[in-house]
């Protein structure tokens, strides 16, 4: 854990903003989702204790809570680290995500409350503003919150737990996508925004089948974005010069 990152945490934990477990939890979660803390990065327990004015016991309680939610990997006798993103975890992600998102959407259509729908609309407005402003961190966090709310709408604690774990990696990969500013990426962001609007309309109408269709269309967009992150375009290989080809004949 670098000194720069510790200073960022120290700043957020300054007097008036709370030297407590709740703030430490929120700060670590925020930095993991936005890649300020990288996958596999060790968390310095002693430094966090010092900066937040906490003993080891509450810091370890925060680690355990984050571990249960998929943000942190706790290793026996080796401390805590940010959850890794490797071939194995990403493979499981790709296999499970569309099924869980679809199941969540189906249940959300039947169990949402007016208050939840209002929160979803508000989050979508914030998401749109963040995209327009080019605020990558806010965009990632608003997108994450949008899908968390749909998870809450499902009313299913088992699926919510799985969804929240998926959203950890979804946000981390999405952070790279939202940093791109090319024309094609802008069009994909507009499509993502449009699909969010469609989610809201379908949920409000309790149209389960429409939600499932949008879910898979939205997942396909996300999958393409993730493939761009995992397998970036390679360098164009050198091609033989015509004169060289002639000499070799």
pLDDT higher than 70, residue 79:
yes
On the question of a common fold for 3-82 and 87-230, the answer reads no
In this predicted model, which residue has the larger pLDDT, 25 or 18? Answer: 25
- Specify the pTM: 0.77
Residue 8 has pLDDT above 60, yes or no: no
Placement of tokens 């709370």 in the chain: 18
- For residue 139, how many other CB atoms are within 10 A of its CB? 25
Spatial neighbors of 13 by CB under 8 A, at least 6 apart, are 19, 23, 24, 27, 51, 52, 53
Q: Flag whether pLDDT at 20 surpasses 80.
A: no
pLDDT tens per residue, range 190-204: 898 999 999 999 999
DSSP string for residues in the chain? --HHHHHHHHHHTSTTS--SHHHHHHHHHHHHHTTSS-TTPBP-HHHHHHHHT--HHHHHHHHHHHHHTTSEEEETTTEEEEPP--HHHHHHHHHHHHHHHHHHHHHHHHH--HHHHHHHHHHHHHHHHHHHHT-HHHHHHHHHHHHHHHHHHHT-HHHHHHHHHHHHHHHHHHHHHHT--SHHHHHHHHHHHHHHHHHHHHHHTT-HHHHHHHHHHHHHHHHHHHHHHHS---PPPP---HHHHHHH-
Q: Kindly list the domain boundaries of the chain, sorted by start residue.
A: 3-82, 87-230
pLDDT tens for residues 149-181?
A: 999 999 999 999 999 999 998 888 877 666 655
pLDDT at 115 over 90: yes
Tell me the residue length of the chain.
249
**Rounded Cα gap, residues 224 and 174, in angstroms:** 11
Contacts of 139 (CB under 8 A, 6+ apart): 127, 130, 131, 178
Q: Specify the CATH superfamily of domain 87-230.
A: GntR ligand-binding domain-like (1.20.120.530)
Domain 3-82 listed as CATH 1.20.140.10: no
């Amino acid at each position: 854990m670098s000194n720069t990152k510790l200073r960022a945490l120290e700043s957020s934990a300054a007097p008036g903003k709370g030297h407590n477990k709740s703030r430490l939890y929120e700060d670590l979660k925020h930095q993991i989702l936005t890649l300020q803390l990288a996958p596999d990065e060790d968390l310095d327990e002693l430094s966090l204790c010092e900066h937040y004015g906490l003993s080891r016991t509450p810091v370890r309680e925060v680690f355990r809570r984050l571990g249960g939610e998929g943000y942190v990997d706790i290793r026996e006798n080796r401390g805590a680290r940010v959850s890794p993103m490797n071939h194995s975890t990403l493979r499981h992600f790709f296999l499970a995500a569309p099924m869980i998102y679809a199941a969540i959407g189906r249940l959300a259509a039947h169990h949402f409350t007016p208050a939840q729908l209002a929160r979803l609309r508000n989050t979508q407005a914030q998401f749109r503003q963040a995209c327009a402003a080019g605020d990558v961190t806010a965009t990632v966090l608003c997108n994450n919150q949008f899908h968390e709310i749909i998870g809450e709408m499902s009313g299913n604690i088992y699926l919510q737990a799985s969804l929240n774990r998926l959203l950890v990696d979804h946000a981390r990969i999405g952070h790279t996508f939202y940093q791109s500013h090319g024309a094609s990426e802008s069009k994909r962001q507009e499509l993502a925004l449009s699909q969010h609007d469609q989610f809201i309309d379908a949920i409000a109408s309790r149209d389960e089948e429409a939600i499932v269709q949008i879910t898979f269309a939205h997942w396909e967009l996300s999958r393409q974005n993730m493939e761009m992150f995992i397998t970036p375009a390679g360098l164009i290989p050198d091609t033989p010069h015509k004169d060289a080809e002639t000499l070799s004949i």
